[in-house]
Amino acid sequence: MTTTKGSPNPAAAWLRRFEALDGPAYRRIAQALENAAAEGELQAGDQIPAQREVARRLGVDLTTVTRAYALARERGLIEGTTGRGTFVRSRTNEDEAGLVDLSMNLPPPPAGLNLAALLRETTGAILARTDPAILLAYHPGAGSLAQRTAGAAWLAPVLGEVDPERVIVASGAQTALSALLDHLTRPGDTILAEAFAYPGLLATAARRGLRVVACPLDDQGLELEALAQRVAEHRPRLICCTPTFQNPTAATMDLARRRAVVDIARAAGVTIVEDDAYGLLPAAPLPALASLWPEGVFHVATTAKALSPGLRLAYVVAPPGQAEGLAATLHAIAQMPAPLMAAVVTSWIREGLAGRVLAGVREEAVARRALAAEWLPTAVGGAETLHVWLPDAVAGAAARERGLALVAAEAFRAPGTVGEGLRISLGAAGKRGTLVRGLRALGELQAS
């Protein structure tokens, strides 16, 4: 009877399953791995032993293990990188059910970079130079001076030079927006939002008991005449907008439009909340609204769209003298961002790695946008956008039958808004081939 040899090793514990299975040895090894992953003993990202160690533990030849690992790789169970080892692969919806996710608005994997390897290296370096007790303790709610300084440097392409004292570090843009609405409004107040708006903003406004007035959009975002009319008529407490790659319509305000929006808000004394999730994605980013009117704009920028959703950190740049009050509100909601995550992002910014990741995301986004142009020629969106908009398009059961996960206009409609459309997210599919399969199917569906 074959037995596993050697001292207990958590990374090799799944090998005990080998003896209970039937069939050729290489298939038993692959099946043991698959069963362990299916039952949660192994999780995505877990490293498994090298082939020689498995051969030694099971008492089989190396060729058998090589064949087993090849089979596991064919089944999508593992992935390996030269010099790093072999790891359990994440099983996505597209693996499990043949679905193509065009719904989650994620940045694509950065071209030419391995985020997992970078994360391991950075966290290892942080833990090597930092007392773990510091990372496990409570931290200042607004972020340390180093974190705020890094945030100011990260946002310099769209904001110019910013005093770090105006920067607040938050655990994601949704948390930051919730804190802003809590801090700047009272139940019953009116806010002005884009006719098709970020669902998280609409949900937060509803919970806060705010009245949302929708402003129509054109190919550059907020329509100026409609904006001026609604500001004069409704006297909103806030104007909430996304000036670059607006979510979901992908519209981008040019500099003249940005100045005009700021002029309308300044003349009426209405504060702007700028959700600039995508502002750093263009190779030549436009100035943020907060750079045009620092005294009247709260700027929110997240790393989730520029780097990775797993690095869920946001920077809020408050008008001069207003950071402390907002920081207190944010602290009451979320206390602080995760210290290790904040340390990783800060390290990446300071060492220039964040810029490299952003460039890789941009490169892949450009390639995917070109694919969308090929298969969906009527789609709207700039060259570096993470999503495109199909105005007036609809898709229901037919899309699901073709294995497409989509988000339609109803998810984004502000109160009183009518109209249809589909937001097509280009980054969620793990591979370009999967994205092409989805875009082709959607194109055929729209043409039928």
Q: What is the pLDDT of residues 55-74, one digit of tens each?
A: 999 999 999 999 999 888 87
Residues 428 and 102: their CA atoms lie apart, in Å, by 7
Query: Is residue 94 scored above 60 in pLDDT?
Result: no
- Winning range, highest mean pLDDT, from 99-103, 143-147, 278-282, 404-408: 278-282
Average pLDDT, the chain: 91
Residue 4, pLDDT score = 52
Tokens found for residue 142? 């607004």
Question: Model-level pTM greater than 0.75?
Answer: yes
Strand 100-101 vs strand 404-405: parallel, antiparallel, or unpaired? Answer: parallel
In order of their start, the domains of the chain are 10-91 (1.10.10.10), 95-117+355-447 (3.90.1150.10), 140-352 (3.40.640.10)
Residue 242, pLDDT score = 98
Mean pLDDT of 128-157: 89
Q: Residue 7's pLDDT band (boundaries 50, 70, 90)?
A: very low
Residue 10, pLDDT score = 63
pLDDT greater at residue 39 or residue 369: 369
Query: Is residue 374 scored above 90 in pLDDT?
Result: yes
Element (H or E) spanning 388, and its range?
Answer: strand 387-391
Residue 397, pLDDT score = 76
Q: Residue 336's pLDDT band (boundaries 50, 70, 90)?
A: confident
Q: Residue 351's pLDDT band (boundaries 50, 70, 90)?
A: very high
Query: Is residue 157 scored above 90 in pLDDT?
Result: yes
Residue 11, pLDDT score = 66
